Amino acid sequence: SPGTEWVSAAERPGGSLLTRQLQELWRRSRGSLAPQRLLFEVTSASVVSERSSKYVLYTIYLIRSGQFDKAPATIARRYSDFEQLNRRLRCRFSCDMASIAFPRKRLRRNFTAETIAKRSRAFEQFLSHLHSIDEIRRSPEFLEFFFLPDLQAAQRLTCTGMYREALATWANAYRLQDRLGVCSSGRFLLTLAGLAVCHQELDQLSEAHGCCEQALQLLEAQGSHPLLGPFLQAHIHLAWKVGKDKRRSEARLQDLREAGLPLQQQPSLKECLIKEPLE
């Protein structure tokens, strides 16, 4: 789909986030309950010609106010993606959306520098306004506009064995969810699974181990979760490989066994990742 055609490793600065950075990001997001001010900045816009169609692709950085992000969280979207988001939100939040302006579609002069510049500013204001409204900011419609295309692209790349490109895409999805403050959702655990699998396939074992550790911290309070068994098994295997302590995970796995979980039939982390429906 046009929304995901732009994904490429070359466009992703700092794709392979270090485990230390991942953990630090997670700790920070965990500690801040009040939403930080998020800025949306269109950093470039390019005209794309495809067979019979032509459109403008806007690249947007999500920037935390007052902080320098070494590896930015980025999305690239076209007018029709914004239009779809606008339509979905107006259906669900008609009162809140009444005061929010959306740039109108033009019949002519869509590709002039003036129109593109005006639209860029309008999209920045549109996203900032949406983010300032609590209910909208937390809605799946708003959140998934940012990271669902990356998750879908990363899943496809992982399935086809393009682990380096997939890793960069999972890492960007991680940064997007971090900026948006949703580091405890199921999608975030799936992102950690993607990072762990790709790091492992690329022989970056300590990074893979760190991703499993982070996921297990998030799953600490959960007695059962479809990803708990697969994460524990991956963590034990990786801890053994990198010479880290695996006793806690072994004990948790034993508890699951005693609770009657048939671990022999448990899928691996990679199988969970491939089977997860991402609509």
pLDDT in tens, 187-199: 999 999 999 999 9
Asked whether 229 and 215 are in contact (CB, 8 A), the reply is no
Residue 30, domain member (yes or no): no
Asked whether 15 and 172 are in contact (CB, 8 A), the reply is yes
List Cα–Cα distances, 161 to 10, 155, 184, 257, in angstroms: 17, 10, 27, 32
pLDDT at 51 over 90: no
Residues 132 and 220 placed together within one structural domain of the fold: no
Strand partners, 54: 49
Q: Phi and psi dihedrals of 55, rounded to 5?
A: -150, 170
Classified as helix, coil or strand, 76 is: strand
End position of a domain, from candidates 112, 138, 164: 138
Other beta carbons less than 10 A from residue 160's beta carbon:
10
Which pair of structure tokens corresponds to residue 124?
């920045």
Which CATH number characterizes residue 73's domain?
A: 3.30.1520.10
Residues 49 and 168 placed together within one structural domain of the fold: no
The pLDDT value recorded for residue 31 is 45
The pLDDT value recorded for residue 20 is 54
The pTM (predicted TM-score) of the whole model is 0.84
Q: Tell me the pLDDT tens digit for each residue of 222-254.
A: 767 899 999 999 999 999 999 999 999 999 999
Residues 128 and 238 placed together within one structural domain of the fold: no
Residues 80 and 129 placed together within one structural domain of the fold: yes
Residue 21, domain member (yes or no): no
Q: Comparing C-alpha atoms, which of 27, 60, 57 is closest to residue 43?
A: 60
Which CATH number characterizes residue 253's domain?
A: 1.25.40.10
Which pair of structure tokens corresponds to residue 62?
């999500």
Task: Write out the residue range of the structural domain in which residue 130 sits.
Answer: 36-138
CA distance 179 to 63: 8
Residues 79 and 63 placed together within one structural domain of the fold: yes
